[in-house]
Amino acid sequence: MNASRQYPDQKHGERSAILIIVMWIAFGLVSLALYFGHSMVHELRAADNRVAGAQAEQAIEGAARYISFVLSNNPGRMPDLRYYRYEDVPIGDATFWILGRGDAINASAVNTPVFGLTDETGKLNVNNCTRSNLLFLPRMTDNVAGSILNWRDKSNETNSNNSGAATELTYSALNPPYSMKGANFETIGELRLVYGINMDLLYGRDVNLNGLVDYNEKSLDVPTGYDASGATVDGGLLEYLTVYSKDPNLQTNGSARVNVTNMTGMAALLAQNLSDAKLIGNLTNTPSVPPMRSLLEYYVRHINDGLTEPQFETIYDSITVSNGTMTGMINVNTASRVALESLDGMTSAMVETLISYRSANPDHIKSIAWVATALKITDMADLPQCHPQLTTHTYQVAADIAALGLHDRGYRRVKYVFDTSSGVPQIIYRQDLTHLGWALGKDIRDKIWSGKDLR
């Protein structure tokens, strides 16, 4: 018998083995193809996200230039929301929003933030405020207020009657130790270095700093005495304090304002802007005794001389009661309820009246005289104690810009502070806030996802 003869069963077995090997090879090749295909899909999506992120970043840069243009049109004034774009603004394939602030937001019913520029002059300047101003802020304690004053001015340490405030000895006992600054705050974030101030006190419930209590923030612990339902926005100290507010005391053309005690200069200014010779005589013949402390006081003093609010508006931007730059002024046109109520002599009733009046009369708040009109002040004895701090001028504006790139991807967020006190808008502060997460609220997120291709 031929030993090399192959039986049918043997050939069938060899063929089956070859088929299995081929199938495994084919399976391996298909698996490799699927793996690389899947990897390419992820790489394509990653590349798409990188492109969208770059578009969002460029949109933010473009938005900053747009805001510079808006601010340059009317230096010294807070731009009116009616005359610039701030929400869902297309720029190329990207879109940007300017996150703003609003008064008395009912956060339990609102899922979209307020949009628009934010007036830094509408906040308390931490480098000028007093203990009584600070104590009115949410969650503030007497110890923390004293510690803030000690930090910016070491001489306050020896004069403080608050033994609980942090002193140089307090900081030297820390690990690692450091010294109190003994100078003005440069940013609000510097408050974190003050003993007793933690992130909860700085941020409050609004941990992503969008001026809105988002769904995930409503469950945060709230100290005793605060609304645990999440119906109010507790933004912490960052919401109410600034370091940027200053008024250069210049007219829009860059020349110095005329001091109301300069009768020669006032006579020329009044003759240029008013036609009532009798009124001009009354305004230039009235001695400033005692010395004038504010333009609101100037207006109230001369109401009985026949000076009307429209007439005062024509000279308001050109006059002053001070020489040199003024810091710590509060823009009564834009200040929040908390900021206004923290001012000396301001009652809750007065603040409510001011907020109601400015909301109902946006075209009649061009000068500080509207405060006297709203509060029905006709005598200097009725002026609030804080009247030297009140203004309607704004030279520092914050823009919190969020943007999305192509296909609503690549979320980015940057906060800027613009200063127009030199006559030309300049960026004096920039902070990337992308790491804080989504800040455009639930409604916009749901709208985006409802129309998104989820492939």
Q: What are phi and psi of 204, to 5 degrees?
A: 65, -145
Whether 189 is in a domain gets the answer yes
Identity (one letter) of the amino acid at 364? H
Q: Are residues 291 and 214 in the same domain?
A: no
Whether 113 is in a domain gets the answer no
Q: What are phi and psi of 396, to 5 degrees?
A: -125, 125
Residue in 232, 244, 297, 248 with CA at minimum distance from that of residue 417: 244
**Helix or strand or coil: residue 91?**
strand
Q: Are residues 170 and 132 in the same domain?
A: yes
Q: What are phi and psi of 433, to 5 degrees?
A: -110, 15
Number of domain units in the chain: 2
| pLDDT at residue 196 is higher than 70 | yes
Sign of the alpha-carbon dihedral angle for 79, 81, 82, 86: positive
Residue ending a domain, among 220, 242, 264, is 242
Q: What digits encode the pLDDT tens for the residues 245-294?
A: 999 999 888 899 999 989 899 999 999 999 988 888 888 876 666 788 99
Length of the chain: 455
pLDDT of residue 163: 66
Whether 158 is in a domain gets the answer yes
Residue in 226, 159, 166 with CA at minimum distance from that of residue 195: 166
The share of the chain scoring above pLDDT 90, in percent, equals: 59
Helices (H) and strands (E) in the chain, counts: 14, 14
Report the alpha-carbon distance of residue 30 to residue 8 in Å, rounded. 33
Is residue 100 classed exposed, middle or buried when 0-12, 13-18 and 19+ CB atoms within 10 A define those classes? buried
Whether 269 is in a domain gets the answer yes
Q: In this structure, are residues 242 and 327 in contact, taking their beta carbons and an 8 Å threshold?
A: no
**Per-residue tokens: 423:** 């006559």
State the residue range of the domain holding 254: 249-324+347-383
Is residue 3 classed exposed, middle or buried when 0-12, 13-18 and 19+ CB atoms within 10 A define those classes? exposed
Q: What digits encode the pLDDT tens for the residues 383-393?
A: 999 999 999 99
Torsion of the alpha carbons at 342, 347, 353 and 357, rounded to the nearest 10:
-30
Compute the average pLDDT of residues 398-405.
97
Whether 455 is in a domain gets the answer no
Which band of pLDDT confidence, cut at 50, 70 and 90, is reported for residue 106? very low
Q: Are residues 266 and 227 in the same domain?
A: no
| pLDDT at residue 4 is higher than 60 | no
Which band of pLDDT confidence, cut at 50, 70 and 90, is reported for residue 295? very high
List helix spans (H) across 274-387. Answer: 277-285, 295-301, 309-316, 337-341, 348-360, 369-375
**Could you count the other beta carbons within 10 Å of the beta carbon of residue 66?**
19
**Per-residue tokens: 128:** 């000028």
Whether 202 is in a domain gets the answer yes
Q: Are residues 154 and 264 in the same domain?
A: no
Q: Are residues 147 and 272 in the same domain?
A: no
**Whole-model pTM?**
0.86
Q: DSSP state, 18?
A: H
